[in-house]
């Protein structure tokens, strides 16, 4: 950690510590007109339970220094609040944050390229097409396939969430259906979760949906003449699509050099609200 990063961490640590002390002190001073002083132990236990639920695993709260006296005492308090054998689904009912399941379709395809049943990435499909006339057809195929995959993925996540009472209302699916894996000028693209690094509930819903629906299916275009990859440089910046449910929204058309861009057919976004980042 550099000195600048260390200073930023220390400043944020001090800010949060001060905020927590202020909040806890105010809670400890809270009094009810009829019942008197607040049950602060219950207040603190419930707050820690909700925190553990937001993180998806009670052990996360003691991961910074496991085995210390403070961690042992905190673990005992958490066990009293959440129980010894609570699952991540049991904990979910105490969450105060949504469960955000993210999907970057192009990143998924690139990561699985070469595996059985996985399509080529859009870049490779364009490069290997060998025909300028197939440019628009290829882009249409990939945009439609990725948008359809986003719909199926969202439906699969929601179907899995509905198996657990009270969980489905907490789940939000955010999808980047851009056919290029790279981010836009506004920032990096959406990242897919990974086992061990992501919240357990997020990984459960993501991996279950991925296993359920497989990979995107992209029809193969026929090619006949040589193709120059540079002809598609104007395709490389497209809107990032954020999806939250099962409603469908169409993107607005854009043109470049008189040719319809893939942005014109970004469709099937499974979202209550959709936002696009454009160049």
Q: What is the pLDDT of residues 42-98, one digit of tens each?
A: 999 999 999 988 988 888 889 999 999 999 999 888 888 888 778 888 888 899 999
Res. 188: pLDDT tops 90: no
Span 171-177, mean pLDDT?
Answer: 94
**pLDDT value of residue 183:** 55
**pLDDT value of residue 129:** 77
Span 22-47, mean pLDDT?
Answer: 94
Mean pLDDT of the chain: 78
**pLDDT value of residue 257:** 35
- pLDDT tens-place string over residues 114-161: 888 889 888 888 888 777 677 778 888 999 999 999 999 999 999 999
| pLDDT band, very low/low/confident/very high, at 245 (cuts 50, 70, 90) | very low
Sign of the dihedral defined by the CA atoms of residues 215, 221, 226, 228, in that order: negative
Query: Which span out of 4-8, 30-34, 244-248 was modeled with the highest average pLDDT?
Result: 30-34
Which of 143, 127, 130 has its CA nearest to residue 222? 130
Q: Write out the H or E segment, with its range, that includes residue 275.
A: none
> Between residues 199 and 209, which one has the greater pLDDT?
209
**pLDDT value of residue 278:** 37
| Chain CA centroid to CA 157, Å | 12
Res. 19: pLDDT tops 60: yes
C-alpha torsion angle, residues 121, 203, 199, 151 (rounded to 10): 70
- Predicted model pTM: 0.68
Within the chain, where are the H helices? 3-28, 40-55, 69-82, 88-92, 105-112, 122-129, 135-161, 200-213
Res. 192: pLDDT tops 50: yes
């Amino acid at each position: 950690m550099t000195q600048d990063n260390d200073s930023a961490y220390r400043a944020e640590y001090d800010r949060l510590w001060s905020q927590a002390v202020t909040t806890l002190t105010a809670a400890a001073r809270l009094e009810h007109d009829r019942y008197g002083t607040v049950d602060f132990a219950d207040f603190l236990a419930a707050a820690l339970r909700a925190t553990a639920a937001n993180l998806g695993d009670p052990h996360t709260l003691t991961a910074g220094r496991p085995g210390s006296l403070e961690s042992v005492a905190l673990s005992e308090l958490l066990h009293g609040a959440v129980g010894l054998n609570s699952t991540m689904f049991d904990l979910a009912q105490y969450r105060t944050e949504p469960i955000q399941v993210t999907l970057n379709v192009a990143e998924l395809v690139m990561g699985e390229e070469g595996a059985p049943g996985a399509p080529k990435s859009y870049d490779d499909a364009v490069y290997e097409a060998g025909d300028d006339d197939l440019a628009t057809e290829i882009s249409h195929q990939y945009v439609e396939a990725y948008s359809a995959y986003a719909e199926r993925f969202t439906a699969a996540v929601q179907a899995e969430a509905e198996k657990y009472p009270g969980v489905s209302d907490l789940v939000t699916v955010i999808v980047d259906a851009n056919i290029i894996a790279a981010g836009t000028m506004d920032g990096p693209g959406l990242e897919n979760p990974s086992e061990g690094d992501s919240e357990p509930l997020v990984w459960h819903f993501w991996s279950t949906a991925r296993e359920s629906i497989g990979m995107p299916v992209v029809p193969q275009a026929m090619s006949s003449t040589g193709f120059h990859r540079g002809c598609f440089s104007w395709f490389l910046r497209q809107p990032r699509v954020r999806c939250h449910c099962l409603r469908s929204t169409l993107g607005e058309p854009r043109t470049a050099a008189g040719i319809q861009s893939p942005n014109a057919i970004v469709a099937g976004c499974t979202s209550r609200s959709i936002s696009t980042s454009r160049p």
